[in-house]
Amino acid sequence: MDATGRTIMPAVAPTAYGLLLSTGALLGLTTVMAGLASSLGWHPIGFLFWSALGGGLVLTAAAGLAGERLRPSSALLRYGLWAGLLSFALPNILSFAAILHVGAGFVALCLAFPPLLTYGLALVLGMDRVSVPGVVGMALGLGGAVLFAASRLTGAEGGGIWAGLALAAPVSVAAGNIYRTVAWPTGTSPRLLAPVMVLVAAVMIGAYAILAAVPLFAVPATGTLALLPVQAAIIAATYGLFFVLQKVSGPVGLSQIGWIGAITGKGLAVTLLGESFPPVLALAIPLILAGIVLVSRRPR
C-alpha cells in the first residue's frame, strides 16, 4: 500500500511477462521477414499488404472457431479505422518503405522508442502517474534505444529522410497505444478487435499501394511465395497476443514489446541478413532490459 492506504499493483502482472516477451519477439521477427522478402525481390509494401490480409483472415477464422462473430457497428468501424491507421497501416508503411534504404536492423531498432512516447502520453492524459521506478526505467530504456539508433545512423545507407521516416513510425505507434485503450468498444473481446484492426489496415495499405503504383501482383519467384503464409501466420500470432496483452497490462505495459522487438529484430537481422553487430549494443541491451523490469514494477 502507499501512504494513503491504497493498494499498489504492479504495472505488468507476472503472468503477463510471457505475453510481453512472445509478442515483442514476434514483432521483431516481422521486420526481419520483411527485410528477407525485400532481399529476394519482393516490393516491401506489396509483401506487407498480402501478409496483412492473410493475417487478418487467419484472425477472423480463429475468432469464428472460438464461437465469436463480428457484429458490424459504427463504433467498431471507427475503432478499426483509427486503430488500423495509427497502430498498423501508417507505421508499417513507413517502416517497410524505409527497409530498402536503412536496413531491417535499423527499422527494428525504431521499435525501441514507443514505450517512452506511450508513457509520456499516458502521464499527460492522466492515464498513468509519475513514479521513481517508471521514470528511471524509461530513462534506462531510452538510453539503450538511443545507443541502438546511433549505432545504425552512423552508417545508414541513404540515411537522412529514410531514417527520419522510420523514426516517425514510433510516434504513430504510441498514439495508437493510447487510442486503443481509451476507445476500446464496450463489451468487445480482444479476439474480435484483432482481426478488425488488421483487416482495416490491410485495406488502407492496399489503397496506398494502388495510389503509389506498387506492383501488388508482381511475385519475384515462385519459391518466394512461401514467405507470405509464414509472415501472415506471424502477423496473426502477433496481434492475437497483442490485444490480450493490452487488456492485461494497459497501454504502457503493452508498449514495452517495442524494446523486446528491437532486440529480437536486430539479433535476427545480424544472424539471418548478415547485418553488423556494433559493440555498443552490448551496453544498450542490458539498459533496455533493466528499463523493462523497472517500468513493469512501477505502481499504478
Question: Cell digits for 121?
Answer: 502520453
Residue 72 lies in a domain: yes
Q: Is residue 232, in this structure, part of any structural domain at all?
A: yes
Residue-wise pLDDT tens digits, 32-42: 888 888 888 88
Among residues 286, 294, 278, the alpha carbon closest in space to that of 103 is found at 278
Number of domains in the chain: 1
Q: Is the pLDDT of residue 158 over 60?
A: no
Domain assignment of residue 213, given as a range: 26-296
Residues 196-213: tens digit of each pLDDT: 999 999 999 999 999 999
- Cell numbers for 206: 492496399
Task: Indicate whether 264 pLDDT > 60.
Answer: yes
Give pLDDT, residue 2.
Answer: 43
Summarize the confidence of residues 221-241 as an average pLDDT: 88
Helix residue spans in 40-89 (DSSP H): 44-65, 74-84
Domain assignment of residue 17, yes or no: no
Q: Is 42 part of any domain?
A: yes
Total-model pTM: 0.80
Query: What does the longest C-alpha to C-alpha distance in the chain come to?
Result: 65
Q: Does a structural domain hold residue 6?
A: no
Q: What local confidence, expressed as pLDDT, does residue 14 receive?
A: 45
| pLDDT for res 150 | 67
pLDDT, tens digit (0-9, with 9 covering 90-100), for 43-90? 888 999 999 999 999 999 999 898 887 777 888 889 999 999 999 999
> Closest by alpha carbon to 288, among 265, 266, 256?
256
Considering the domain boundaries, does residue 8 fall inside one? no
Rounded to an integer, the average pLDDT of 266-285 is: 72
Confidence category of residue 183, pLDDT binned at 50, 70, 90: very high
What pLDDT digit, counting tens, does each position of 114-132 carry?
Answer: 887 888 888 888 888 888 8
For residues 105 and 236, give the distance between their C-alpha atoms in angstroms, rounded to a whole number.
Answer: 22
State the number of CA atoms in the 13 A half-sphere of 136 facing the CB: 9
In a domain, 11, yes or no: no
Residue 2 inside a domain? The answer is: no
